[in-house]
Structure 1
């Protein structure tokens, strides 16, 4: 249970839960890497047409289903980041794999959950 699955990339950042089994680490690693790879080539995929876009969607959906079957959720968003000591600032994508019971910890204080609406 090494928790070795966090990937940090120039264009994005991802994180995952601690205390994972080696099997769960592999599932999370594969999902995050696959999604990051598709993001890296997204412009090329769009240029190749609808068939390539459908292939990307199927691949990402399969990874999301694999995470769900293992009991995980994938959260995604965008943040501003600084690189090169602040000389370059821009958006990065952020992916975070969580267990459903960890969602409450991530909620912004003062925001309602779906059950509170």
Structure 2
């Protein structure tokens, strides 16, 4: 996710100032913190405008540990919350970064790496 966000800024010439929100799919609490650290170490501090769907799905008192996971997090937050907030005028420009892992039971059992993937989409109110 961090690479996708950095490359988006490089490829488009945009910065965090072009977005009201940068939101990832389901990194969870620890993944979000790691992505923030990677971005900051590479000169991209998006912290004030950075959120993760997996973190937003659950309230801290629900004891969901690291937050939600799976493809539903991005869909629930984007379609159920984010678009409503955009209709209200609270957000005009959002960078959404869907995240996932390319899991294979064989690879996991063999101790191999689990590749991650992230796709970015710009959502703008209009």
TM-score, normalized by length of structure 1? 0.32
User: Which structure is richer in relative contact order (CA contacts within 8 A, separation 6 or more)?
Assistant: 2
